[in-house]
Structure 1
Amino acid sequence: MAYEDIVVSLPPDPEQVVQIWTDGGCRPNPGPGGWAAILTFRDVVKDLSGAEAVTTNNRMELTAAAMGLESLKRPCHVIVHTDSQYLRNGITRWIAGWVRKNWRGSTGEAVANIDLWKRILAAQEVHRVEWRWVRGHEGNDLNERADQLATEARRAAFGDG
């Protein structure tokens, strides 16, 4: 075994990892929505959020991930935390088949949200990205904060709806 193989197999240094916590949602679904991404690196925290007038929960979840990854200025080791099974399964399990089938799902229908899936693929290309699912509304501080920021973005743009 080469030295490089040993180094690569070591767990990442937490001081060198960018953590991104994402969330998105609508009220009602579909309807006005908000998204948020919280980026942490060492002691630096950056909040991103936004809203769209007519969208879906899934689009807002994907937008949060795309915006978080696109905001990175250089190649990084990134851990993206999401409470969306759609996002996590899509990017880790389903996307290879969608691309191979020219963005068609198992039924032959066009994959929903192709534009956002392509943005995420392009944004993660230069990074080493791990995708982690977290249970929503279970007391994880940064997941709860991402939810709050997404809700606040939607409310600021469109009212309580």
Structure 2
Amino acid sequence: MDSVEIYTDGACSGNPGPGGWGAILIYKSIEKELSGNESHTTNNRMELTGPIKALETLKRPCEVVIYTDSAYVCKAFTDNWVNKWQKNNWQTSKKTPVENQDLWIRLIELLNIHSVSWVKVKGHSDNEKNNRCDLLARNAIKVLKG
């Protein structure tokens, strides 16, 4: 199975507001950058969209390490929030509907194809790839603003 590293980030100008996401896929020595935007979204939706779009580009099942600065995304898997939400019919521990359920479901579908592990990185720090993803996300927002 091929091994791929993915760095992702999401950003929003206002929350909600125009948003962008960025991702860098690394396979062997090859890097591919992706980015996109939505005119009205939230930061958390963009943080989820980055890994989704990156995983969707993979052409076959891979062993993947995803680096994100989003505790929201990372802890959903490392702390098993997603499993609890599913068992509780997509309700939080406070019995409220899980936000962004559509994106969580899509991400889970992709995780059933690939073997994925999650790594939380510190945002806006010294991680060059995370900083690059942040720039990709912010530049994607600028495209919307003209």
| Secondary structure of 1:68 counterpart | helix
Q: Distance in 2 between matches of 1:150 and 1:19?
A: 18
Kindly, what percent of the aligned residue pairs are identical?
A: 47
Q: 1:154 aligns with which of 121, 124, 141?
A: 141
Deviates more, 1:79-88 or 1:91-100: 91-100
Q: 1:130 aligns with which of 117, 135, 142?
A: 117
Say which structure is richer in strand.
2
Task: Note the alpha carbon deviations across 1:114-161, whole angstroms, 9 max, x for none.
Answer: 0000011001111110100000011111000000000001101224xx
Scaled by the length of structure 2, what TM-score is found? Answer: 0.96
1:145 match = 132
1:71 match = 57
Residue 20 (str. 1) matches residue 6 (str. 2): yes
Scaled by the length of structure 1, what TM-score is found? Answer: 0.87
Q: Distance in 1 between matches of 2:102 and 2:116?
A: 20
Q: Distance in 2 between matches of 1:34 and 1:101?
A: 31
Task: Note the alpha carbon deviations across 1:23-71, whole angstroms, 9 max, x for none.
Answer: 0010111100000111000111111110001111100000001111111
Q: Distance in 2 between matches of 1:122 and 1:71?
A: 14
Q: Distance in 2 between matches of 1:112 and 1:158?
A: 26
Q: Distance in 2 between matches of 1:73 and 1:63?
A: 18
Q: 1:47 aligns with which of 26, 33, 37?
A: 33
Which structure 2 residue ranges, 5 or more long, are not aligned?
Answer: none
| Secondary structure of 1:49 counterpart | strand
Q: Which is greater in Rg?
A: 1
- How many residue pairs get aligned? The number is 145
